[in-house]
Chains A and B, each alone.
Chain A
């Protein structure tokens, strides 16, 4: 065995290359500003919207009341057994993402994803404290002077404030926001509130302040899934290499007319990219299609008097067409291809079905349990009594007067544990407290001889109805048992 050259040990990990996106202005930048404003306003502001529901329910418009197992969203109140509405919303969100991806590619990644929005916000903080791209690079590479320490401290403090505010806003969705805010600052809030704020502050600080595009490239599964959802009709941010190549400066192009393409290799598209990629290398996982490179390139093209759109939203079909000398399809046709139409139909069908069932649902619900021990009781006058446990759900934020009646059981007498058989009748009335489940032990006596000779077991129906306003209710069919003869 010889003495081989020592093998240099390659690291298995790649160190992050710093990304210092340059400030840019243009249509897409302004669009991003607008979306950032809207989404952050929704996130921070929603818990503070008030919504009057009367004295028996909270007045917060959007509230996930975990302790009492209620979910309030404006005029809609969801009980735990109606959780399928939340499942429906999640399915709609999923199909909505398919729809958006199939039509406009990774628009979610580029504009609306929280990781993108908060990264964008933190990058503005970088610019505010450190200055634009070049100043940031200088500072990052420079020595630890007093100025650098001061700037870094200021920047991280601002990060921390934003992160804390983000974590703090989250818990407001789970309790009355003004009360919780007061409790939070006076140290009276639940431990889980402080814990949640701490965790979310930490994740926002780390994910938005430091990890940024690495979350999209290494951690997030969604970009990988999206590649399966896109096809040749989906819009992508595309560098039109057939128009741009070979690259050459304006001077060289003037010296050799016709030898160079439109790309002057000014590197602006790379400088503004928030994930630090070069779009001219073609579609890649790091591209979140935020379209800031389009803004940057368009600005340059305008300055040098060449047509805009060297980098542009394009489908793969458009690319092929333009390469062959044709023109791209109009945007309306691109968006309306069969896949998007199918996704949109499914998406809206689920939405309409949910709206319809929300409109139809009753807020008075009945569940009956037949007591099995004993199955029936022989009464002294020859009647048979069966015992039932009723669960009456009054899902409205007001006490309700309801009736409970039976049908399909001749000679039935109903009374509850609060009453006696002397006061029994075919029908009961009771008041249900607001927004609650009431358990009632119901006794039903009926003649010992059944209506049919067939057996000891007879089906009948218990019905509950509202007596105040909304007469809708609920019914359940259940057995009445008699001794075998």
Chain B
């Protein structure tokens, strides 16, 4: 062993390494020793600085988790509060546009492209939240359940004001006076027509829509149609928008245009329902939704100014 001056008291009795002048940690493994190299001073000071920083942080910001919430910190900062601030800032940013849309008559929108574009975009966002569940992501509807909003066939009308009214008041809402309403009788279920008669009406409907050639059955059906159906669907089957009666002469069939589907519809009609949105959405959002639906490709020009709905295609 080396003599005692290799183990000075200043090093805690540990050996000082000659080459480096650093004391060892005092252990030895098969002749291998470990130097007790001190931390670099900059490292140490950085470490102390982080401790001071952490103390300040704990006081200023939410830090200690308690039972249901963390300590609040004297600054009162929270990430939820940040979000609220950002949302509020965004609302302030959008407010002028929304006010302009609210102030504009819906009929004027197409003539003001920037406003229309803003309304369409706002409507698209609202549509994704409130409407896609039934009408589909692009407004394509669901076959035999919910109508497509992108085509050029409208049950109640496809101009901006009409769409706005439909969204506002809904369709067949029992608790609402202004809702759009009508009821097709259940000709089969309630025994108004015999199954054979229904079959004749189906033949007639498929004839006027160009799916079948006229025959004896459709000739019989024509008389039945005039007596039972024409009052709503029109004498030529051109539909009636005042009562949401679909046009029967075109290629678009909400509940299917084949014999089985038509028979089922006449036997027991669906009388589809849409919620009214004035109880859930503000008028500006509804206006923007109307603009969006209008923009999907089937939007119609506004009806003449006398306010009467025009039946059938203009």
Residues of A with Cβ closer than 8 Å to B? Answer: 1, 3-4, 6-7, 371-374, 377-382, 385, 387, 417-418, 420-421, 441, 443, 448
Contact = CB atoms under 8 A, between A and B. Distances in A.
9 contacts: A374-B140, A378-B252, A380-B152, A380-B247, A381-B250, A385-B150, A385-B151, A417-B295, A418-B113
B148 interface: yes
A369 to B, nearest CB: 13
Contacts of A7: 18-19
Given A374-B140, A381-B250, 6 more contacts: A1-B1, A7-B18, A374-B136, A379-B251, A380-B153, A382-B251
Contacts of B251: 378-382, 448
B138 A421 contact: no
A374 B152 contact: no
Q: Which are the 3 A-B pairs with shortest beta-carbon distances?
A: A374-B140, A373-B138, A380-B250
B252 A420 contact: no
Nearest to B151: A377
Chain A interface, DSSP helix/strand/loop, else mixed: loop
Most buried by B among A3, A374, A418, A441: A374
A373 B136 contact: yes
Most buried by B among A4, A372, A382: A382
B72 interface: no
B119 to A, nearest CB: 13
B6 A1 contact: yes
A448 B6 CA distance: 101
Contact of A4 (B18, B113, B137): B18
Contacts of B13: none
A328 to B, nearest CB: 54
Nearest to B15: A1
A415 B137 CA distance: 23
Contact of A373 (B140, B250, B295, B298): B140
Contacts of B272: none
Interface string B297-314: 110010000000000010
Given A378-B252, A380-B152, A385 B297 contact: yes
Contacts of B298: 377
Interface residues of B, number: 25
B136 to A, nearest CB: 7
B39 interface: no
Nearest to A387: B297
B2 interface: yes
B63 to A, nearest CB: 32
A374 B135 CA distance: 11
B297 A373 contact: no
A381 B18 CA distance: 100
Contacts of A371: 138
Contacts of B153: 379-380
Given A382-B251, A387-B297, A373 B137 contact: yes
A421 B152 contact: yes
Contacts of A418: 113
Contacts of A448: 251
Contacts of A373: 136-138, 140
A418 B148 CA distance: 21
Nearest to B6: A1
A374 B252 CA distance: 15
A4 B20 CA distance: 13
Interface string B1-34: 1100010000000000011000000000000000
A377 B250 contact: no
A475 to B, nearest CB: 24
A374 B250 contact: no
A417 B150 CA distance: 12
A36 to B, nearest CB: 41
A448 B151 CA distance: 14
A435 to B, nearest CB: 20
Contact of B150 (A374, A381, A382): A374
Nearest to B314: A422
Nearest to A380: B250
Interface in B144-190: 148, 150-153
Nearest to A422: B301
Interface in B283-299: 295, 297-298
A372 B137 CA distance: 10
Most buried by B among A3, A379, A421, A441: A379
A374 B148 contact: yes
Contact of B148 (A4, A6, A377): A377
Contacts of B140: 373-374, 377
Contacts of A374: 136, 138-140, 148, 150
Contacts of A377: 140, 148, 150-151, 297-298
Most buried by B among A1, A380, A382, A443: A380
A377 B141 CA distance: 10
A417 B1 CA distance: 96
Contacts of B148: 374, 377-378
Contacts of A372: 138
Contacts of A378: 148, 151, 251-252
A220 B69 CA distance: 54
B297 A443 contact: yes
A380 B297 contact: no
A455 B153 CA distance: 26
A35 B1 CA distance: 71
A373 B6 CA distance: 84
A443 B296 CA distance: 10
Nearest to B140: A374
Contacts of B301: 420
Interface string B90-112: 00000000000000000000000
Contacts of B113: 418
Most buried by B among A7, A373, A418, A443: A373
Most buried by A among B6, B150, B250: B150
A272 B152 CA distance: 87
A417 B252 CA distance: 22
A411 to B, nearest CB: 15
Contacts of B2: 1
